[in-house]
Structure 1
Amino acid sequence: MSGVEWGVLRPESVADWINFDHSNPEWCYEGPDSTSMASRQTEGVAYLWNLLSLHGVALLADEVGMGKTFQALGIAALLWKIKPNAKVLVMAPNKDICAHWRREYHAFVQFHYRQIDHRVKNGVNSGPMQSIETCSDLEVLATAVEKGTDHLYLTTIHALSGLVPTSDKGTENIRIARGRAREIHDQIKAAVGDGGFDLIIIDEAHYFRNRDGGSQRVNAAEEFFGTSRTGLGNKVLLLTATPSHTKIDDIRNILMYFLKTDLDSNCSVGELMTKYGLRRFRRMQGLKCDYSKREYRIENDVPCDFNQRPESEIFFALYQKKLVTELGMTRDNKSLLYGFLEGFESVGRAETEPLHTEVADISIEESTGKDYYKAHDSELLARLSARYFETFRCLPDHPKYGSLVKQCTPKNLFEKSRDLHEHKHLVFVRRIPSVRELTQRINEAYDTVLAKKIYQAWGLNDDDRVVNKWRTSKPAWSRIGFDELVRHCQSNITPQEEDFNDEAPPDANDENDAYLGSAIADLFVVKKGRHGSTDASNVSLRFRKPESAFAMFLEPSIDYKLGGYLTYYKFEQGGKHRADYVTAAREARFRRHTLHTQESVATRRTYDTHKYVKELKTVWSLVYPQLSKLQKKKLDDWAQNRPDIAENFANYVRTGFLFASPVMVEFYAWFTKFSRNCNDVDVQVRYNAFVDYVSDQIEESLTLAYFKSALDTFEVLCEKIIDHKLGAWQKEWRALTSLQSPAWFASGESKNRQRLILGFNSPFYPNVLVATSVFQEGVNLHLQCRKVHHYGLAGSPGDNEQRVGRVDRLFGKVNELLKIDSKVELEINYPFLKNSIDEDQVASFIAKKFHFEEKMDTCTQGTFNRSVELTRENWRDFLRRPKESVAIKDPYPAKFDNINLPKKDLF
């Protein structure tokens, strides 16, 4: 690094400047015998710094979920401390993970970097001194570097695959890509000097393991990173939880891009890891001790069958026969592809439903064939499905779909005994059409549960004619059928307030995907034209519109605890006097808690203030007495010291209740039951009577359960998951308004995956996230989920580990539960079709994975063989079961003895 010597670093010195235990401001490094993650991360920063100082290259290969990003940011922060203008490049797989790095850097500086030194941390808002630039491609990166005003540059690994313009694509793709990468390399080096970037961080470095694959990415990477004499960076830090992803040579291949000297071919992987690497196993802090992953992970086989559905069984028997006779799938050629039998209904449905074409995505996985629309059997499946549909006028049943849908749909959604995190399921598939098929089926299953709550509120039963008519309408639970049901039941109900007009919420799902969503959720959306409004949408508007008294129900209490409101506004519009309840309530809170804003005063109408006949309470006054002591303490602290956080939380739960949860169905049921028995015409009297009615329901309600769960996770959600400051009380949670369905999907064509990450990490929708490999690496999905389903098998044990690692992370739901109950398990499910090729595939994968992953953890395995061995004997013995607590030894730990570096105080 030009002008600066890295020297030697000790964990004690790191702890002087960085506190990895955010919950304890007084934390200090506990010594080499400590097993706390804070101490281990501190050691990681020091050890990696020393490796970079000594060799210029370091490989951080800690197990998934150990905070590799924070350790890398710790190194960058200490580098900026001694050289504030240092240039750091981060290459992450895709734009979503780049956004994650940006969030993590802000959080790291604000909450973990100890001192305001005006070199790393500023004194204005405790934010970073260094500026960040996210670059969509390598040309944008080069331009940004030439500008010279930024310090941390974020770009994607996928950018290496996008160097050939569409107009130039052809037989010369590799040559063009190499040439353009070389030009960009030279452009950056000319801007920053011969030394290049002061530090390059490669996230998910195993993407560079296939040196001999001949891909455009590999060839471009060789030119972009440069030779040993003209490297792009002075120091290079490589991050991956699975360094030997599929074969032992992966580690050598990754390192060869960046080492100053050629690797000795006789140098073993063990020697390479000892010299350049750091790999340690994660330990979760629990009730009585720390837990390794083998102590709480449980793998379950989930067998499925046709269950007396002969037509579908015949279809499947014919399909298996055709695999052999037409495609030559035999024991001898071992060319079975993982993913067969994953979704033959999807292929059939594609004939009648919109089928989107997969677009080029920022995720490399989508372009490498791990996820696919078409496999070897796609044409065969389409042909057989079409013939089946012609004969039976329906598509063949798929047992794996039915089994998974049953697992992912709660039976007792509206009953008291519930942990909302149990509703969260992460499902991985291989066939891209399967994400839609599963999403639609799970939403249909949820609709059956939600619809029952609605028609029971009208006093109807499952076997009532009007209910059956609504159930069997086309589509099921349609708006037209719902209108007929309401008209049938509404004859004796007191007229309500006027209906409110509204438009569909922003960021609503694309119309082409409308058939995938929840039909019940759709009832609460206002649309254009006939049947644009429904009784459900009208009730929803009552809880949303400021001029509706019932919108007060979701306002926080005036003191954020129990207090009610005494006044409301009236204004004149179109010659009529109208009320505005919500604006009056909000401004009353703002005055009380000194949250005045120029906008709230300048933009509001000319109001007259009027007194309520009786103090108006909100749902917060009903919820607050039901909270735990810790939860009350949190609200009390916000009310006294941080009302901006309380307001932000209020916006969050209001939006989640109205748009992204079954709570709106609960509100509708309450409102309907109440209205059927209330004859009061006066709005304020009726509202107060409604609050009294709900007070008897609140203890066993979903409303209370969601409020508690949202309160428990709100701070970490803001800090770790999204670009939303904890006290950003004037911002709306617009992303939640488009998460109206219980299940949704993430694939390469998903437009806004950040909203899915937000929703899945919250107690709100989606409860079930069906994903391709686009969510296999680099994203955090752990705050609410402890269940993973491998509907389609991963391509390798490394991919499998990355999938599970999305929820098996520090400070996630599993970690939280282990602090309460040592018997908590992380469920990993493998559904399969019994006595079929599908079972052969699962059996073969599980057996091979068992032996492979033990060595993969210590980087000593050979190459993973993907072929399918057609045997099912005793394969369930290889499913992982929780082990008793045992001592584990890190394969390549941090060491600080005999460091061959100058002894120098860096700071």
Structure 2
Amino acid sequence: MSEFWRRLKPMDVAKWINFGGVSGEWTYAPDQPTGMAALQTEGVAHLWSVLSRSPVALLADEVGMGKTFEALGVAALLWRKKPDAKILVIAPNRDICLHWQKEFGSFARDLYVKADDFVKSKKDGKPVPPIGAHYRLPELTEAIEQRSKDKAPTQFYITTIHALSGLLDSADASNDKARAAGKVAKKLHERILAATGGTGFDLMIVDEAHYFRNRRGGSQRVAAAEEFFGKPESRIARRTLLLTATPSHTRLGDVANILSYFVDQASLEGKEVDDLMRTYALRRFRRMEGQGTSYTKHQYRREIATPCRFGDNPQDEMFFALYQKRLIEDCGVADEKRRALYGYLEGFESAGHRDLARDAQSENEGSDDERSKDFRAAADTQLLQDMSGDFRGLFGSAPDHPKYDGIVNLCTPSELFEMATDRCLHEDKHLVFVRRIPSVRELTKRINERYDELLAKHIADTHGWDEESRLRWKKSNWSREVFNEITGASTRRDIDSDDDQMDEIEGESESVDEHDYLRSRVADLFVTKKAADGRPPAPPTDCSRFSLNLRKTTGIFSMLLEPASDYQSGAYHWHYHFVQGGKQRMDFAKAAQMQRMETRPEFPRDALDALRPHDGDQREYDAPIETIWGRVFDHLPAPQRGILVDWATAQPRIAENFANYIKAGFLFASPVIVELYGWYVTFEQRLADEEKHANVQRRYRKFLDFADLQIPDSLLLKYFISAIATFEQLCTKIIDHEVDAWNKGWRTLTTLSSPAWYASGESSHRQHLILGFNSPFYPNTLMATSVFQEGVNLHLQCRKVHHYGIAWTPGDNEQRVGRVDRLFGKVNSLLQQQGPDTSALEINYPYLKDSFDEDQVGSFIERKYEVEDKMDRCTQGDFDREIHLNRSGWEVFLRKPVPDAMLSDPYPALFSRS
């Protein structure tokens, strides 16, 4: 036994790690009721003890239990005992690598008890061990070699599972690519051992370890992993901690396959999965705490099957009848090629619209080989393309798609701006899982189109247009040109001044994106288009002028979305005046920021100097100027008002950061900008002619008084309340952003102008979507593929998951639901507020009624029900994918909340609680 690895008790862990939060009152006590903090404390002690006697431990706690924090707890205790310990994390893809970096910061700040300069810095409370993230194994190896040469102190390395599949150059001509990949991995293994004095890593953490369950798959990943992880006599790491919520992902042999990379094969032979789990593993069920008790998933999950039917278009139904016939004939159902059937009804409407090869590659970074085939093609891809092409030729359009329509109906509200006072914004958040990229795009486009109808109706209502004008605009697909013709926008002037100065404004469109056809057309009306690529700028609209004037600091209406001067309800008293280019200029928003910050020592003086215009002076307003923030403050519920008061009085940097956040969300990533525009149009219609040309300060105050009357039942108030409630958690848990970073511009939100979007493309854009979906702002509906199936937190605002394309296995299905069903998210907070009956997590399975689609969904639900309990206890056999042609009775297998469904942990931590 290593001197560093000696068995621990939970009380030993609690001396250094408080899973209840270092600022809270929770402490570990053996005789207390079992809560999540106690389970995590015991989990770390148990895993440490397993590693004291074995080279590997398996943390198999259920999805959403904080396995990352438990693993970091093990790492932190190792650094306590051996400060120069080298630790490697291998995660599926870059997004999850970023998640590990964020969580390490949160762990040190929020859970690690004492600043000791081993794990947590005494200077700033941040992590001490330096992090090196390298997404390719050659880069990781070179970094380790260079740091060894320089004697640099990096002790925490992060790389991707995908790196094991990408060792060969695309031009490699080897006949046996798996063998060639193994040779490359072996050399990297040897170089790392040489650079570390033959010891390798002290601890390796493998996240989502079920990626290694296909031990005999013959893939490059398997061959590379065998050589990189090493043989028993030369392991790349002295100890390995495996993490997966679904160790028995598809079959009983999965557990042994995963372990076989890290222990002698002889120690696995003849062992049942139960023996292996008891020897190496820890498996507990998640418990959501609320209303004085805790709940297991079966007490609050609700599965719903939504039937989708054809309308009164016989040609559409005939299309699908022919498709089913051709599917059986051409795709060989009789030859067990059932994978085609799982792709049924997906994607034909966009087939051929774009070359999907590049997207397929980015979609499948880190995914297993079987799932990746869905994105590139399926057995029925060509069939769908040919048949839909023929249909378009005959009828001029694609056939109606009942499942698309069903998802659109589920994911879009019936109205936006007439929301009942008890309607919550989180009800509009939907996570939709699909398999094929064409379906992702088609659903994105259709949901944005449905939202555009709601947004356009509101705009038309506020203008008072007749039915002819409304229909004309709709037929133009909400075009800027027709909108301008109807509104006479070319003759309208700025709402606050004749100042034509243009600032560098965030969020403007400078080029045409290849996916612009998917975006919200109505949101585009609020964008000022610049000239690009030799093309003239698109004409401004009344909407874009309004939005610009809310952002242009030289106009008084830029004050509307500024925070109150004291971050509560205070007014402003002066603005800047200066001369530029021989013209008299004023700056209102920068002067407001100066007034908020100049009396507060928390803000740096050099930042204040940057706010003053050259040779500018201060001019008094003719009366104090307020903002909409100050008016909203009086309408806030007590909890949110209390949070704002705390920020304003004790942490003004957080208040300033929140002000930037809420402003960006209102202007770019929510229907609030449409609501504000509607208010202004209505206000202007009611102004007498002489008032329209009155002093701009007086006109601004009149508009603010008008807006104040609209606030109680407004979207603006709802978004403000929701944003306050989740702001600090969003900063610290989702984006690893200092909550008091007062000068952050929140540019990410300026890119999220559409109500629906999809998770694909570059990793950086995925991070934008993660932020937006976890905020109350856009996207409201997120279409996701397997790239968001694991390791991604999407739980702060959402409680609804839709399986447009059903998962391959119950393990995949559970991983999907786990993106939302997590601790400290919306489901958790609703359980605390209301209990399980009214806040069940909704899991929806849409299907085409009375078709083969119903057969496949029904068969999956029935078989999933049969194996779920076994999967939860890691005793699942092979999952039978047979599709039963029987359309009755399967609905009884949909899960409903069961009040007394308390479960005992199958493989608990082995500690006495007495």
- What TM-score comes out, normalization by structure 2 length? 0.94
Query: Among residues 614, 631, 634, which one is paired with 1:625 in the alignment?
Result: 634
Distance 1:335 1:145 in 2: 43
Distance 1:663 1:564 in 2: 23
| Cα offset, 1:328, TM superposition | 3.1
Task: Give deviations 1:47-99, integer Å, cap 9, x for gaps.
Answer: 00000111121000000000000000001011111111110000000000000
| Aligned twin of 1:578 | 585
Distance 2:461 2:46 in 1: 63
| Aligned twin of 2:48 | 49
Distance 2:436 2:901 in 1: 39
| Cα offset, 1:603, TM superposition | 6.5
Where does 1:202-351 land on structure 2 (aligned, <5 Å)?
A: 202-260=206-264, 262-330=266-334, 336-347=340-351, 350-351=352-353
Residue 796 (structure 1) aligned with residue 809 (structure 2): yes
Distance 2:898 2:483 in 1: 52
| Cα offset, 1:719, TM superposition | 0.6
Aligned pair count? 891
Asked if structure 1 preserves the Cα contact closer than 8 Å seen for 2:62 and 2:245, the reply is yes
Query: Among residues 839, 847, 869, which one is paired with 2:884 in the alignment?
Result: 869
Asked if structure 2 preserves the Cα contact closer than 8 Å seen for 1:509 and 1:738, the reply is no
Residue 174 (structure 1) aligned with residue 173 (structure 2): no
Distance 1:333 1:648 in 2: 55
Distance 1:645 1:433 in 2: 41
Asked if structure 2 preserves the Cα contact closer than 8 Å seen for 1:300 and 1:879, the reply is yes
| Cα offset, 1:260, TM superposition | 4.5
| Aligned twin of 2:624 | 615
Where does 1:651-666 land on structure 2 (aligned, <5 Å)?
A: 651-666=660-675
| Aligned twin of 1:741 | 754
| Aligned twin of 1:903 | none
Query: Among residues 422, 426, 429, which one is paired with 1:421 in the alignment?
Result: 426
Distance 2:510 2:389 in 1: 33
**Counterpart residue identity of residue 410, structure 1:** P
Task: Give deviations 1:732-759, integer Å, cap 9, x for gaps.
Answer: 1011110000000013566510000000
Task: Give deviations 1:358-416, integer Å, cap 9, x for gaps.
Answer: 35336222754443242111111111111111111111110000111011111121124
| Aligned twin of 1:551 | 558
| Cα offset, 1:865, TM superposition | 1.6
Secondary structure, in 3 states, of the residue corresponding to 1:301? strand
Between 596-605 and 770-779, the greater mean CA deviation after superposition: 596-605
**Counterpart residue identity of residue 594, structure 2:** E
Distance 2:783 2:252 in 1: 31
Distance 1:281 1:262 in 2: 31
Secondary structure, in 3 states, of the residue corresponding to 2:367? helix
| Cα offset, 1:510, TM superposition | 6.2
| Cα offset, 1:489, TM superposition | 11
Task: Give deviations 1:134-159, integer Å, cap 9, x for gaps.
Answer: 00210111112221430110100000
**Counterpart residue identity of residue 28, structure 2:** Y
Distance 2:843 2:177 in 1: 41
| Aligned twin of 1:142 | 141
| 1:489–1:133 Cα change, 3 Å | closer
Distance 1:509 1:73 in 2: 43
Query: Among residues 795, 806, 810, which one is paired with 1:782 in the alignment?
Result: 795
Residue 481 (structure 1) aligned with residue 482 (structure 2): yes
Distance 1:694 1:376 in 2: 57
**Counterpart residue identity of residue 452, structure 1:** K
Asked if structure 1 preserves the Cα contact closer than 8 Å seen for 2:821 and 2:827, the reply is yes
| Aligned twin of 2:28 | 29
Query: Among residues 522, 533, 555, which one is paired with 1:520 in the alignment?
Result: 522
Distance 1:740 1:379 in 2: 34
- Provide structure 2 residue ranges, at least 5 long, that are not aligned to the other structure: none
**Counterpart residue identity of residue 552, structure 1:** M
Residue 9 (structure 1) aligned with residue 8 (structure 2): yes
| Aligned twin of 2:698 | 685
**Counterpart residue identity of residue 404, structure 2:** Y
| Aligned twin of 2:777 | 764
Distance 1:233 1:326 in 2: 50
| 1:163–1:617 Cα change, 3 Å | same
Task: Give deviations 1:249-269, integer Å, cap 9, x for gaps.
Answer: 000000010114633421110
| Aligned twin of 1:715 | 728
Asked if structure 1 preserves the Cα contact closer than 8 Å seen for 2:36 and 2:287, the reply is yes
| Aligned twin of 2:158 | 154
| Cα offset, 1:671, TM superposition | 1.3
| Aligned twin of 1:453 | 458
**Counterpart residue identity of residue 671, structure 1:** Y
Secondary structure, in 3 states, of the residue corresponding to 1:201? strand
Secondary structure, in 3 states, of the residue corresponding to 1:592? coil
| Cα offset, 1:296, TM superposition | 0.6
- Provide structure 1 residue ranges, at least 5 long, that are not aligned to the other structure: 899-907
| Cα offset, 1:334, TM superposition | 5.1
**Counterpart residue identity of residue 12, structure 1:** M
| Cα offset, 1:717, TM superposition | 0.3
Asked if structure 2 preserves the Cα contact closer than 8 Å seen for 1:208 and 1:254, the reply is yes
Where does 1:816-855 land on structure 2 (aligned, <5 Å)?
A: 816-822=829-835, 823=837, 824-855=839-870
Asked if structure 2 preserves the Cα contact closer than 8 Å seen for 1:560 and 1:646, the reply is yes
| 1:500–1:303 Cα change, 3 Å | farther
Q: CA RMSD in A?
A: 2.1
Residue 726 (structure 1) aligned with residue 739 (structure 2): yes
| Cα offset, 1:896, TM superposition | 2.6
Distance 2:768 2:339 in 1: 39
Residue 470 (structure 1) aligned with residue 470 (structure 2): no
| Cα offset, 1:624, TM superposition | 0.6
Asked if structure 1 preserves the Cα contact closer than 8 Å seen for 2:554 and 2:588, the reply is yes
| Aligned twin of 1:901 | none
Residue 560 (structure 1) aligned with residue 561 (structure 2): no
| 1:99–1:32 Cα change, 3 Å | farther
Distance 2:427 2:509 in 1: 28
Residue 755 (structure 1) aligned with residue 777 (structure 2): no
Between 191-200 and 12-21, the greater mean CA deviation after superposition: 191-200
Asked if structure 2 preserves the Cα contact closer than 8 Å seen for 1:540 and 1:664, the reply is yes
| Cα offset, 1:104, TM superposition | 0.3
| Cα offset, 1:520, TM superposition | 0.6
| 1:197–1:556 Cα change, 3 Å | same
| Cα offset, 1:605, TM superposition | 2.1
| Aligned twin of 1:860 | 875
**Counterpart residue identity of residue 844, structure 2:** N
Asked if structure 2 preserves the Cα contact closer than 8 Å seen for 1:45 and 1:74, the reply is yes
Between 416-425 and 526-535, the greater mean CA deviation after superposition: 526-535
- What TM-score comes out, normalization by structure 1 length? 0.95
| Aligned twin of 1:358 | 359
Asked if structure 1 preserves the Cα contact closer than 8 Å seen for 2:772 and 2:779, the reply is yes
Distance 1:367 1:748 in 2: 19
| Cα offset, 1:331, TM superposition | 9.1
Between 429-438 and 409-418, the greater mean CA deviation after superposition: 409-418
| 1:280–1:15 Cα change, 3 Å | same
Between 837-846 and 160-169, the greater mean CA deviation after superposition: 160-169
| 1:788–1:166 Cα change, 3 Å | same
Query: Among residues 381, 386, 397, which one is paired with 1:383 in the alignment?
Result: 386
Asked if structure 2 preserves the Cα contact closer than 8 Å seen for 1:674 and 1:690, the reply is yes
Distance 1:250 1:425 in 2: 32
Distance 2:97 2:367 in 1: 16
Distance 1:235 1:783 in 2: 34
The percentage of aligned residue pairs carrying the same residue is 51
Between 801-810 and 111-120, the greater mean CA deviation after superposition: 111-120
